[in-house]
């Protein structure tokens, strides 16, 4: 598996490259009801319009969207992406915020 590239200006991940690596299409995933429900919930939580969670060219996506898409592509990729997220963030503090605020 090639490295997952991150866009400097917003931290979005290259889901187009993920799709190619696993012989998948981002557009196929976006048609799933589960994907649409996830985008709606994430949009509400992060206060980002759904249309801004994935780039128009379907190349770049919010890191959480990339994680969800990655799981659809390959469960091992989800584990890899979760590991990257945990390395760069205080995951425990984030979980505590969700549970106790």
Tell whether 56 is covered by a domain: yes
Domain count, the chain: 1
Tell me which of 94 and 58 has the higher pLDDT. Answer: 58
Using CA atoms, how far apart are residues 25 and 12, in angstroms rounded to an integer?
A: 18
**Mean pLDDT taken over the chain:** 87
Q: Is the pLDDT of residue 4 over 90?
A: no
Q: Which domain holds residue 37?
A: 13-100
Tell whether 4 is covered by a domain: no
Confidence of residue 97 (pLDDT cuts 50, 70, 90): low
């Amino acid at each position: 598996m090639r490295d997952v590239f991150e866009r400097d200006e917003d931290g979005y991940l290259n889901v187009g490259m993920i799709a190619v690596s696993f012989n998948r299409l981002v557009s196929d995933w976006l048609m799933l009801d589960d994907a649409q429900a996830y985008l709606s919930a994430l949009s509400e939580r992060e206060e980002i319009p759904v249309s801004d969670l994935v780039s128009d060219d379907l190349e770049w996506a919010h890191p959480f969207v990339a994680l969800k898409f990655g799981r659809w592509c390959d469960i091992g990729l989800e584990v890899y992406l979760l590991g990257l997220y945990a390395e760069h963030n205080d995951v425990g503090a984030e979980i505590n915020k969700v549970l106790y605020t």
